Amino acid sequence: MAIARFQLCAIDCPDAPALAAFYSAVTGWPVTKPHADYPEWVQLASGDGATIAFQRVGGFRAPEWPGQEHPQQMHLDFAVPDLDDGERAVLALGAVKHEHQPYPEDFRVLLDPAGHPFCLVHERYDA
């Protein structure tokens, strides 16, 4: 028996609305502002229960990947039917391709506008 139900993944960043807009463009999920009392918190709602939240933190330092001085601690994976097309699309939104690409035929490592690593994974590997 489960103790709790997964609710969301929250990502620290310097500008919550800006990073939410980036991931909204990546996923097509709408940006929601669930709590007027918390202006530094923004969410994306998939419509099927999955949620990604963004919260502004002062003094934010982007993770360094694959280094360990400021480890990534978490990352998001997005399945795409074509890695090249997906990469072009997220680069146009402001992502940056990371120089370290361990398996570029299977997945691509990119950085979002706040510096968090995320991956585009060829959908044949979508779990």
Same domain assignment for residues 87 and 39: no
Angstrom distance (rounded) from CA 53 to CA 65? 22
For 19, the domain range is 1-56
Asked whether the beta carbons of 105 and 94 are under 8 A apart, the reply is: no
CATH number at residue 29: 3.10.180.10
Rounded mean pLDDT, 14-19: 94
Q: 61 in a domain, yes or no?
A: no
Q: What is the total count of domains within the chain?
A: 2
Nearest by Cα to 95 from 2, 40, 27 = 27
Helix then strand count (H, E) for the chain reads 2, 8
Q: How confident is the model at residue 116 (pLDDT cuts 50, 70, 90)?
A: very high
**Same-domain check for residues 72 and 121:** yes
Distance between CA atoms of residues 101 and 98, nearest Å: 7
* Tens-place pLDDT, residues 41-75: 899 989 888 889 999 989 998 888 888 888 877 78
